[in-house]
Amino acid sequence: MMEIINNMSGNGGTSSSKIAEILFLESNNNFDHLVIVTDGEVSLNEIKKSDDIMKKNTNNTNLKYVSTFIIDTYGKCNLSVGAPYCRDVPNTTIYVDKDLKEVRQPSLFKEDLDEWEKLEKNAYSQKDFIDNYSKILNAVKAKTLGSASEKTLETLLNFKKIVLDKQQSLPTFIDKIEGLISLAKQGNMDFSLKVT
């Protein structure tokens, strides 16, 4: 594999949706740690196809962690190649630049998901939200990487309504919740595409 990487002699035509297809073959349903190594030259259509397959099978995966390594080979690196597999599980994405320097991309930790689940269950106060904002932000970034998320948007709007119905909101709360709502509507494109 190092010879292929060093010589940059891949065959091209990366079909990242094959990962999703393989994950859901009956004989392969026991994966718990998915490792993706790619040059990131993947079309947006392939990422959408991967997303669609993952969304359709969301309850049929045993994934507990996803590691994505994107190695720049002087092409167009789409940093959201691992996003379809990372939305609901802890993950790490590392971009390896042309000088072989590793740059950590947005990653999602179990603690982030735990806080998001509390928010989804409406077990959160305004103060909890503000105190744990960085974890919730990480969760929203992961859930919206490269695409908008109706489910995430619905959760945030519902939480905002519940908080505002119960009590007067703090200015900090409104600013933060509105920022997350905007992110869920538009999708987190900041880290999704890096043209090099």
pLDDT band at 11 (very low <50, low <70, confident <90, very high): low
**Per residue in 121-176, pLDDT tens?**
877 888 889 999 999 998 988 888 767 778 888 989 988 888 888 776 777 888 89
Residue 16 · residue 42 · CB < 8 Å: yes
CA gap 90, 94 in Å, rounded = 14
Q: Give the pLDDT score at 195.
A: 36
Residue 168 DSSP SS3: coil
Strands 91-96 and 65-71: parallel
Burial class of residue 177 (count of CB atoms within 10 Å of its CB; 0-12, 13-18, 19+): buried
Q: pLDDT, tens digit, for every residue of 34-70? A: 999 998 888 888 888 998 898 888 766 778 899 999 9
Q: Residue 28 pLDDT > 70, yes or no?
A: no
